[in-house]
Amino acid sequence: MKFRLSILLIIISLFGFSQNVKLKTGDLLFQSMNCGPLCEAINEVTEGYQGKDFSHLGMVYIKNDSIFVIEAAGKAVKVTPYETFKTYTKEEMFVGRLKRKYRKYIPKAVAFSLQQVGVPYDDEYLYNNGKYYCSELIYDAFLFAYKKPLFDLFPMTFKSPKSNEYFEVWADYYEKLKMEIPEGQLGCNPGGISTSDKLKIIGTLR
């Protein structure tokens, strides 16, 4: 009887987990974009919350009852309507919310992010080079607000864990940029941020 009750409670909690999310400014949206071999390579070397694959994230910004997402995507940092942002993926998005003790830093993080609108997208994936990729923007926003790292940087890899050889898609990518692959340099990714102990995944949205 106790076992059946436990299973029932788990099912109820999972249902509630995915259905009762009301977005707030500062929430982080994690999604798996369909960008072909590049996203597949990212997914192979990064792991997100509960083993999920995340290749993009943005930060919720609510203004005059309208929901936007501040993101580094395409050609630059931009403010995107939520209805547009959610079309990037056909899968459910996971919502991360900072734990209570860190929420007071959200206004400064949002202000910093808005000041970066128009900064070019970091297609080199190099930290601190005057440009931003998606998770790098979020990392720096809370670094600015918290005055020290809130999230973590890790050595990046562009090699397949199966062969320890560079993914062909990355080799071709950096060859076109005429630069060396930044193997081992510090960086961040959506999956890593989704597993941070500074936030909690509170639900999913479609």
CATH number, domain with residue 159:
3.90.1720.10
Parent domain of 72: 22-205
Number of domains in the chain: 1
The answer to whether residue 109 sits within a structural domain is: yes
Its pTM stands at 0.88
Cα-based distances in Å from 45 to 128, 134, 159, 162, 176: 22, 17, 8, 10, 22
pLDDT, tens digit, for every residue of 43-78?
A: 788 889 998 989 999 999 999 999 999 999 999 999
Report the alpha-carbon distance of residue 74 to residue 94 in Å, rounded.
21
Looking at residue 5, its pLDDT comes to: 42
Q: What is the mean pLDDT of residues 145-164?
A: 94
Q: Say if 80 falls within a structural domain.
A: yes
Q: Are strands 76-81 and 93-98 parallel, antiparallel or unpaired?
A: unpaired
**Range 16-33 average pLDDT:** 82
C-alpha pair distances (Å), 192 with each of 138, 169, 174: 12, 22, 23
Token representation of residue 29: 């949206």
Encoded tokens for 128 = 């601190």
pLDDT digits (tens, 9 = 90+) for 117-153: 999 999 999 999 999 999 999 999 999 999 999 999 9
11 lies in a domain? no
